[in-house]
Amino acid sequence: MILRAYLVTLCLFFCITASPQVVKLTQKFDSSKTPPRPDYSKNASWAALPFIKDEADTTPGLGIYKDLQSNAIADIFFIHPTTYTYKPLSPNQWNGDINDVQLNQKTNSGTIRYQASLFNGAGKIYAPYYRQAHYYSYVTSDTLSARLALDVAYSDVKKAFEFYLKNYNNGRPIIIASHSQGTTHAIRLMKDYFDTTYLINQLVCAYLVGMPVYDSVFIKLKPCQNDNQTGCYCSWRTYAVGYYPKKYIKPGKFSVCTNPLTWKTNETYASAELNSGGILRNMNTVIPKLCDAQIADGVLRIHKPNFKGNIFLNIKNYHIADYNLFYSNVRENAILRKDTFIKNKS
């Protein structure tokens, strides 16, 4: 019985939050081994589009939420995190191939289903596949190869965003949402297209989650300070109370952290009573009061999530669950900011 409960717990939570095993790339970045550049005029180059059926259309809670993309008057540009974690099909290939069926399935069934979907109540979701940098890029000492691989990935994100602006946006309000590697690229995208350009007038909000964002990185863009402010950004990274990962560098007071239960950047404690619902492995179940949250040391701290079987949960780094732990709160907030933006504009 104990073993069964343990396995159920793993299935419910660990499948979402486990860190990948490090697969080492033993040779330096070689541009000749980089997969072909995506063609974003083809639907197959997108993990999610509002006019095709995909995992971003998923709604949790057996009818609690609705997919409202068909009539939405705002857009979501979602940049997915790293799913390229396994041994490359081609030796030492630093960037994933968007024609890799295995990789796309991993992206779709994971981050698009569990992260991008939370925005389908606020707008039409556009999520490009891109030649993402291998997970090893974030842990290697070969910083040059890592930078080159990340540059390739960002060049795709940039091209996809330009295609989206030209062919789909038509001046509509925009929410930028990202996680982990996606946020690495989203920060650059915000600097290139929103921070000092006219597009800042179309920005509802940017959710730059899972990576440190320093308040000096932008010129005009500022962190959101309440739940309905627009033209700003939110950011958080989630750890257990008192936990410091290996090689942890304290981000300090200049690292922006937003509490997704209060939508403020102060260190006021937010009890689990404010958590309107999180999602674990079962998308049909929304779990209210899943966890609390408090900002400390420039990151978001939580106590052990409250769900059946959590006695077997020993995870301290909740990185991959940054969105899932606060699924309903983020969903509701995106809708609120979108409605506020449209009201103010009109």
**Cβ atoms within 10 Å, residue 247:** 6
Give me the residues paired with residue 240 across strands.
302
Confidence at residue 289, expressed as pLDDT on a 0 to 100 scale:
97
Tokens of 64: 């609690």
CA dihedral (45, 113, 138, 136) in degrees, to 10, reads: -70
For residues 97 and 35, the answer to whether their CB atoms sit within 8 Å is: yes
What's the chain's average pLDDT? 91
For residues 115 and 125, the answer to whether their CB atoms sit within 8 Å is: no
Tokens of 113: 């289903």
Confidence at residue 254, expressed as pLDDT on a 0 to 100 scale:
73
Q: What is the pLDDT of residues 207-219, one digit of tens each?
A: 999 999 998 999 9
Per the model's pLDDT, the better-predicted residue between 56 and 8 turns out to be 56
Q: How many Å apart are CA 20 and CA 12, to the nearest integer?
A: 17
Q: What is the mean pLDDT of residues 310-330?
A: 92
Q: Predicted confidence band at 72 (pLDDT cuts at 50, 70, 90)?
A: very high
Confidence at residue 61, expressed as pLDDT on a 0 to 100 scale:
79
Decide if pLDDT at 96 tops 50.
yes
Confidence at residue 156, expressed as pLDDT on a 0 to 100 scale:
98
Q: What is the mean pLDDT of residues 74-86?
A: 97
Per the model's pLDDT, the better-predicted residue between 252 and 1 turns out to be 252
What is the number of structural domains in the chain? 1
Decide if pLDDT at 2 tops 80.
no
Q: How many Å apart are CA 133 and CA 259, to the nearest integer?
A: 29
* Interstrand relation of 203-209 and 124-128 (parallel, antiparallel or unpaired): unpaired
Confidence at residue 1, expressed as pLDDT on a 0 to 100 scale:
39
Q: What is the mean pLDDT of residues 113-126?
A: 97
Confidence at residue 19, expressed as pLDDT on a 0 to 100 scale:
58
CA dihedral (252, 255, 259, 264) in degrees, to 10, reads: 100
Q: How many Å apart are CA 319 and CA 250, to the nearest integer?
A: 16
Tokens of 165: 């602006």
Confidence at residue 255, expressed as pLDDT on a 0 to 100 scale:
85
Range of lowest pLDDT (32-41, 62-71, 118-127): 62-71
Domain ranges, residue 239: 2-345
* pTM confidence score: 0.94
Q: How many Å apart are CA 101 and CA 132, to the nearest integer?
A: 14
Q: What percent of the chain has pLDDT over 90?
A: 81
Q: What is the pLDDT of residues 143-168, one digit of tens each?
A: 999 999 999 999 999 999 999 999 99
Range of lowest pLDDT (129-138, 176-185, 311-320, 329-338): 311-320
